[in-house]
Amino acid sequence: MKHSARALGALRDPGWHLAGACTSLLILLASPSADAGSLPAALKPLLRSFEAYERDLDRLDQVLPPAKAAPAATKLPALPSPAPAALPVQPSEVSITSRLRVDLQQAIDLAVQNDPVLQQQIAGVREQQGWLRSVRGRYFPVFGLDLGVGYQQQARQNYAWNGNAGIYAADSAFYVPTGGSSNYQTNIGSGFAQLRFDYELLSFERSAALAEVKADLEAARQRYGDRLRQLQFAVSEAYYRLQLADQLLRIRQVVVDNNQVILDQVQALKTVALVPRVDLLRAQARLQQSLFRLEQAQAQRLSGQRRLSNLVNTPFSVTLEAREAVQLQPPWPLDLEQTIVRGFADNPQLQALQAARIALLRQADRRAAELLPRIGLFASAGYRAAQTTTPVINLQGCCGGPALIPGLNSQSGDWSAGVLLQWRVFDAGITAGAVEANLAAAERTLQGEAGERNAIRQRLESAYFDYRAALKQIIAANSSFRASREAYRDSRARYEFGLDDYTDLAETITSLTTAMEQRAEAITLANLSYAQLLRELIPVPSKPGEVVSLPIQLSVN
């Protein structure tokens, strides 16, 4: 009770030194006999702030917990992608009604099922497979059957401007007077059937066309494999950035809580005239600034969730959340030189360009072969039947008599067979110009392959250097965090005891917050660099029907 009375008296006496008063206050608050009821009303907020201080330190230590094994992944419900042509027309259709927590591997597997760009590449492979089947069909004979029926009507008029009176007598059936005429209408109904057989024995253009389509198919398959790599990296990047947004949100929430507790402490100290008014204003401003950064983090988190969900192509009403906290991937198992060499080997980007160049060369061969002769066999056989009638006849002094046939049935049959030689001898440079264009395009593609090779190496080297730098940044951030945490403990206690001003405490909080965020950002940068390296080295299938496995870590076995 003596300590309590002395402390209270010191707080009431403005002549006491600030440090001594705070020391007495600490004795008062630490005294077993002290309770909230025996304290002045002005000191009760300060007592609550000391209790919050202990809880605040515990929360601070738990923001960046040590890495732990992630819990076993739960099986996800079916998440079919929206129909390609689906367009929501009601707000309720895009309202988020379900939130699912997924790990990175689950997100990648979902993207492989739902990604529309990957489906485009699969359709491209099927398209080239169809063209390959079409060209291969040219190595087999072609049979054709033509069947048809028809009806034809003809109307004719004959006018004799000079008759044959000097040749035939007037009573002759063949007599035609000058000015005589005849009109008649003929109706013809016919049907026919024809069977045709064609077979290319020799065609240089056909062989070149087959080689061209095979190269196009290989290019389509490699583009499919490259899209798998792109998808793995894109989903990994979105997931890692979402993890970072989650971590920054947790950090900034703790900072807001911190600043709220400190503001309560400053308010309590200001009430008993232990701190100046400027400290209260600074604490209030800092709380609002931390709330501003918290709102930013919340927006980034929501945006990151939608980015991952849209990339995975989930249903309109589903949002994905990161199930795992930020944690560092295992060390990259290769040195820089091994990484570059493996990055060039079996790289779908390079192989797609190589196949495209081969396709252009074969296309040039095909067009050049159009000037070469083609030899083929052909055979055809057919049957035709027709009926001719003349139901309308008008004779005016002409062409009468028994020579007119009012109806006629006719039949015919024919067949033919032979060897056909086709040879384009001259085309005024059409083929030569097309060949030259194809060769130039092949050279352009070759230079593009060289550029892509250099770009791959640059990406690998940049990612490798960023990865190594990020590991060192993590070490520095960890050291900075440990030092800033201890400095924060001391600075906060010193401020409460009147040994530091609020500026020192604010700078210490800024240093601690920066260290915590830098640690999360450095881990994310390391993971992103790891994913970029993996994007250039991960083995992928080149045929859509094969099983797709996109691991998030590189295996050197």
Please state, rounded to an integer, the average pLDDT across all residues of the chain: 82
Give the model confidence (pLDDT) of 79-126 as tens digits. Answer: 888 888 888 888 888 888 889 999 999 999 999 999 999 999 999 999
Tokens linked to 226: 């490259």
Least reliable range by pLDDT among 9-13, 276-280, 285-289, 295-299: 9-13
Least reliable range by pLDDT among 85-94, 162-171, 185-194, 245-254: 162-171
Give CA–CA dist 27/20, Å, rounded.
11
> What local confidence, expressed as pLDDT, does residue 371 receive?
85
> What local confidence, expressed as pLDDT, does residue 232 receive?
94
> What local confidence, expressed as pLDDT, does residue 320 receive?
93
- Is the model more confident about 394 or about 253? 253
Give CA–CA dist 468/406, Å, rounded.
102
Give CA–CA dist 324/165, Å, rounded.
114
> What local confidence, expressed as pLDDT, does residue 98 receive?
87
Give the model confidence (pLDDT) of 175-233 as tens digits. Answer: 778 888 877 778 888 888 989 888 888 888 899 999 999 999 999 999 999 999 999 99
Helix axes 348-369, 204-271, angle to 10 degrees: 150
Rg of the Cα trace of the chain?
45
Give the model confidence (pLDDT) of 303-362 as tens digits. Answer: 999 999 999 999 998 999 999 888 899 999 999 999 999 999 989 999 999 999 999 999
Compute the average pLDDT of residues 441-465.
94
Least reliable range by pLDDT among 52-56, 104-108, 219-223, 518-522: 52-56
How many C-beta neighbours within 10 Å does residue 333 have?
12
> What local confidence, expressed as pLDDT, does residue 71 receive?
60
pTM of the predicted model as reported, rounded to 2 decimal places: 0.79
DSSP string across 2-57: HHHHHHHHHHH-TTS-HHHHHHHHHHHHH-TT--GGGS-GGGHHHHHHHHHHHHHH
Residue 249 confidence class, pLDDT cut points 50, 70, 90: very high
One-letter-per-residue 3-state SS of 380-431: EEEEEEEEEEEEEEEEECCCCCCCCCCEEEEEEEEEEEEEEEECCCCCCCHH
> What local confidence, expressed as pLDDT, does residue 67 receive?
55
For residue 102, give the nearest of 228, 234, 248, 242 by alpha carbon.
242
Give the whole-number percent of the chain exceeding pLDDT 90. Answer: 38
Tokens linked to 555: 């295996």
Residue 300 confidence class, pLDDT cut points 50, 70, 90: very high
- Is the model more confident about 68 or about 528? 528
> What local confidence, expressed as pLDDT, does residue 65 receive?
59
| Residue 22 in this model has a pLDDT that exceeds 50 | no
> What local confidence, expressed as pLDDT, does residue 393 receive?
64
